[in-house]
Structure 1
């Protein structure tokens, strides 16, 4: 399994330097739900929103490791493009925090590479 260390480090660095909530990403509707992320060791801890009233319901903090992130990262473009069955594919790969991982990738890493990759791949 390929580990996306560089991208994971960008996520960790950004979260460590920004005490904020992140908005869930949805291709089908405008999500108004937020969650909070913080770095704990070499993992990201996800919990209820700290700064927004419309919080996801997260009874116990959830942990995201580089391994789970690395399973989800290559599926990001398919997810954000609305490819049918992508959520099922993520569940089969045992990516249990896919909604949070996709939101973090969307808000932190979705830069020039992702915006223009469709043009570059044609």
Structure 2
């Protein structure tokens, strides 16, 4: 085997390793918590990778066609917050880890802080 053949082989290993590293980075970035909740439903507030709702301050621009209704409760079903916003009315909520957040008829919620 000549020196030239060896350097080509090492170059292929480096390129393969770099490709695997880029792929792993893309998988990691796509598993980070999202910064918006766009669909009606109930979401558990958590800090895990891939969680839809993470602790922090969330904001919406109100209802889609009618009022936007939201509710926060504990795991034991104790209501810790509730409210509604009219279409176009900007509203904010602060979600804490371990709570459940329910949203119905709202424009997307966006993490703002």
Interval containing the TM-score (normalised by the shorter chain): under 0.3
Give the alignment's TM-score, normalised by structure 1: 0.25
Of structures 1 and 2, the one scoring higher in RCO (CA 8 A, sep 6+) is 2
| TM-score, scaled relative to structure 2 | 0.26
Query: Computing the radius of gyration over CA atoms, which structure comes out larger, 1 or 2?
Result: 2
